[in-house]
Amino acid sequence: MKRTAMFGAGSMMLAAALAAMPAGAGAQGAEEKKTLLVAESFTGGSVADPNFESHNACLTAAAELLGEDEFDSCADQSTGPVPASGKSPGYLQLTDAAKYDFGGVLYDKALRNQGGIEVTFAQYQYGGTGADGISFFIVDGDTDLDEVGAYGGSLGYAQIESRQGDMPGVEGGYLGLGLDAWGNFSADTEGRGTGCPEEHRAPGHLRTGANRAPDNVALRGPGDGMEGYCLLATTATDEKIGTHPRGDLYGTDFPESLEMPTLAEAKRLVKLKITDDAEPTVTVDVDFMQGDGWHRVLETRVPHEAPDTFKFGFASSTGGATDVHLIRHLRVETFA
């Protein structure tokens, strides 16, 4: 599949306008006929579909410790206010609130894209100091999907350049959705944006030092290795809201926060849709569970068609700042 850079900075105004829309105004209207491809609640003590692979993720309802890359008990990953181990219904736990933790889940079976893709899931980020976030990503179905991309600010999708060494993005990447509590996924720092044309880069204030935009949603496009993963759109704004020891903090256009203090407050439903056009429209809707339904937070176009077949994954990490990161109720559908 051809890899094409995406447009980035100009999408900020569109994201701001969409975030201001009333509940349901940006969401899908007429009922569409869909075909279910994958459904996994992650609430039980095992994952039945053998195409799922754990990369240091665990199931809170599981009772037995099996190993780092097994869907096993979270009893050995229990830093912070994690769900009770062995209790059902449970969650897919990508990280606890330990520092410098990571976790990913990959689905390594090619699925047919018939008329577009829709993905829904519940995400939970809570109980720490707001880092790093959760990514969901789609790759070309021809890819041997056995590793995530760089963790940290790249959320397991994009690349990172650092003094500790370069880390490539996910192989065959087509689209990465960042649910970004810490705020680096929208920034073209740490090597993100490499190989992207000027008009497809992050805005200038998110290319400088360690500037970041906490608590935002962003989309990055195709990439391989250390090239690409260009910014498509972000809810980050150019409003400076504060500083931190290494740079400036910028705002986001959200009715509520992605990250919350407790599990009871943290549930957010997420819906990602990719149309079947030659230049697909990508939309991201979030239900903040405040009783007013879906909010359209991002909408943009991708100047390259989606792959005929695709695979997908989740990833998350913590750093010096942390959170617990959980997933539930995944559905992946295509349009008949």
CA distance 317 to 98: 10
Longest dimension (CA), the chain: 51
The domain locations on the chain are: 11-335
Per-residue pLDDT of the chain (336 residues; tens, 9 = 90+): 322 323 344 444 344 444 444 444 444 445 789 999 999 999 999 999 999 999 999 999 999 999 888 999 999 999 999 999 999 999 999 999 999 999 999 999 999 999 999 999 999 999 999 999 999 999 999 999 999 999 999 999 999 998 888 999 999 999 999 999 999 999 999 999 999 988 789 999 999 889 999 999 999 999 999 999 999 999 999 999 999 998 999 999 888 999 999 999 999 999 999 999 999 999 999 999 999 999 999 999 887 899 999 999 999 999 999 999 999 999 999 997
CA-based end-to-end distance of the chain: 23
CA distance 210 to 203: 14
CA distance 139 to 304: 13
Which phi and psi angles does 204 have, rounded to 5°?
A: -55, -40
CA distance 164 to 161: 8
What CATH class does 11-335 carry? mainly beta
CA distance 146 to 108: 7
Element spanning 19, H or E: helix 11-19
CA distance 277 to 287: 26
Residue with the two structure tokens 């007429």? 30
